[in-house]
């Protein structure tokens, strides 16, 4: 079984707990993790860009110049794409679909691979006693400052929503809080440190054991 260090709110190591080898010491598959990240980012992408068609451009309907005698090519309207201020040919419509798909089995393997890589790099730890703190940003900031020296891109994994922790961490710019069951490959790899509560480890193992 994989072994994770457990720290208290004073940032002191108090014990270790065993975690699933299936999740934390799985085979690291770089191509699969890359694919999972690509799918995640593609599905976050929106398509707000839109250009106007010839029917949407507001211009004069008058013929741009007379048909003959100018020495120039014949044109009927100023909203043609070749003119400044005219429509755009083949531009974005605002309805593009950039979403990609990935099977549940592949997503799970990619997540286990990412967690195993972070475990191998000693970037996963367990923190206990957070629910006993007063819900003040200062209290939580002091803990993470002690725990990681210079905190950046921390992800705190919880077993269930907790108002005390939410209120205490909302204003910490370097910390993201999420449920262990919602953790994905992108969040795992993008984090400098993954911090689990004890219950979050159990919930994560139970969640993936049942799938």
pLDDT band at 210 (very low <50, low <70, confident <90, very high): low
Q: What is the pLDDT of residues 50-87, one digit of tens each?
A: 999 888 899 888 898 999 999 999 998 889 999 988 99
3-class SS string, the chain: CEEEEEECCCCCEEEEEEECHHHHCCCCCHHHHHHHHHHHHHHHCCCCCCCCCCCCCCCCCCCCCCCCCCCCCCCCCCCCCCCCCCCCCCCCCCCCCCCCCCCHHHHHHHHHHHHHHHHHCCCEEEECCHHHCCCCHHHHHHHHHHHHCCCCCEEEEECCCCHHHHHHHCCCCCEEEEEHHHCCHHHHHHCCEEEECHHHHHHHHHHHHCC
At the fourth CATH level, which superfamily is domain 2-45+98-209?
A: Ribosomal protein L4/L1 (3.40.1370.10)
Q: Mean of the pLDDT values across residues 21-30?
A: 94
Q: Where are the domains of the chain?
A: 2-45+98-209
| Residue 107 pLDDT | 95
Prediction pTM value = 0.83
């Amino acid at each position: 079984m994989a072994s994770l260090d457990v720290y208290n709110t004073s940032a002191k190591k108090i014990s270790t707990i065993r975690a699933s080898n299936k999740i934390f010491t799985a085979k690291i598959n770089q191509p699969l993790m890359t694919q999972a990240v690509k799918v995640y980012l593609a599905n976050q992408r929106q398509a707000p860009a839109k250009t106007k068609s010839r029917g949407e451009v507001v211009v004069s309907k008058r013929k741009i110049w007379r048909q003959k005698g100018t020495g120039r090519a014949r044109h009927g309207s100023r909203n043609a794409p070749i003119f400044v201020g005219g429509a755009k040919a083949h531009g974005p419509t605002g309805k593009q679909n950039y979403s990609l798909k990935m099977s549940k089995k592949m997503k799970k393997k990619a997540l286990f691979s990412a967690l195993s890589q972070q475990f191998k790099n000693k970037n996963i730890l367990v923190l206990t006693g957070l629910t006993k703190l007063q819900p003040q940003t200062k209290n939580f900031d002091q803990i993470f400052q002690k725990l990681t020296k210079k905190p950046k891109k921390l992800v705190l994994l919880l077993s269930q929503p907790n108002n005390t922790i939410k209120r205490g961490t909302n204003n910490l710019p370097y910390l993201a809080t999420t449920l262990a069951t919602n953790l994905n490959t992108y969040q795992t790899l993008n984090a400098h440190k993954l911090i689990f509560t004890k219950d979050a480890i159990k919930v994560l193992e139970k969640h993936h054991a049942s799938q």
